[in-house]
Structure 1
Amino acid sequence: MELATFNQLTADEAQAAIRHCVAIPPWQQALVAARPFASTEALLATADALARQWQQSELAAALSAHPRIGERAKGADKESALSRGEQSAMQQADHALQQAMQQGNQAYEARFGRVFLIRAKGRSGEQMLAELQRRLQNDDSAEQQEALDQLREITLLRLKETMQ
């Protein structure tokens, strides 16, 4: 979508156009309310600034729409389709790597009580597993911040791709 089009949509249409970026309606609404944007860079800068305000409640809301790494996202919506594409490296991994990721996901969820989140796009299955294993050593506060950082990266990447 072109930025000029996004700027001219009604608030509801604009929110619908970015809904797939992250399942945090207040972020969507704040970004829509900040229009018009003079450039894509200004849009992304505002989106980033808004995302840096996220805390535990926003992370929990967003994770409700994210499948585990290595699990195929279900659904026909745009967010599910994006997730399937972003995780393609893990979908194509060998059985041993998929098994290790599944075990890592279970350990992560037992330790932190939520789904492991990582920007999968541009990472191999081996890189994602290594990051999961490294992050299992984090304390709760450090891991929450890493998960929020990954969520912000995913969101901004999706937004940037939407505006191309």
Structure 2
Amino acid sequence: MTNHPHPSSAALEKLSAAPAAELRETLLEICSSPGWAASVAAARPWSDRDALLAANAAAMAALTAEDLADAMAGHARIGKPRTGDATSEREQAGIRGVDSALLDELHRANAAYEAKFGHVFLICATGRTAATMLASLRERFPNDAATEAEIVRGELRKINDIRINRLLDED
């Protein structure tokens, strides 16, 4: 996700120079964990895109269990993007047009996962089909809570990387 040959210096400079409250709001749109947002903000100014992505990675690595729960709370259930939420709908584009039997299977697997782990199944859904997300959910279901928390941490980092790159590329 860091292969962007032409860094968006204007967008990065704008983000680095944003007032604290504005930056916090922008960062919380990327990841709903206040701990993550504070950690990334504390790393500014970022010298380039890679420095901002490194701040994301460092912040993700340092998240507590409570911070992870905050971050997961900002994500829609796989197979049910939030209506009107362009980010959720874009990231879960792989479920569009899927037959109802597959969606029902995904919903049942999600319910079992949530009952076991106490939170939504989190995966970087960008570019994935409903079938591959269901396969990943089934593959991860046998994990213990500690293993799954570390996988979730990695998936959140990937999602944040995509969202950061998108933000920098939009400006």
Alignment of 1:137-156 (within 5 A): 137-156=142-161
Q: CA deviation at 1:72?
A: 2.6
Counterpart residue number, 1:136: 141
Pair 1:10-2:15 in alignment: no
Pair 1:122-2:127 in alignment: yes
Aligned partner of residue 125 in structure 2, secondary structure: coil
TM-score by length of 1: 0.91
**What's the C-alpha RMSD, in Å, of the aligned pairs?**
1.4
Aligned partner of residue 163 in structure 1, secondary structure: helix
CA distance in 2, matches of 1:144, 1:38: 31
Q: Name the % identity.
A: 34
Alignment of 1:10-89 (within 5 A): 10-74=19-83, 80-89=85-94
- Please list the CA deviations of residues 99-134 of structure 1 after superposition, one character each: whole Å capped at 9, or x if unmatched: 110010011012111111111001111110000000
CA distance in 1, matches of 2:34, 2:61: 15
Q: Is the 8 A contact 1:11 1:33 kept in 2?
A: no
Aligned residue pairs total: 160
Counterpart residue number, 1:105: 110
CA distance in 2, matches of 1:141, 1:19: 25
CA distance in 1, matches of 2:39, 2:159: 18
TM-score by length of 2: 0.87
Structure 2 residue runs without a partner (length 5+): 1-9
Letter in 1 for 2:72: L
Q: CA deviation at 1:4?
A: 1.1
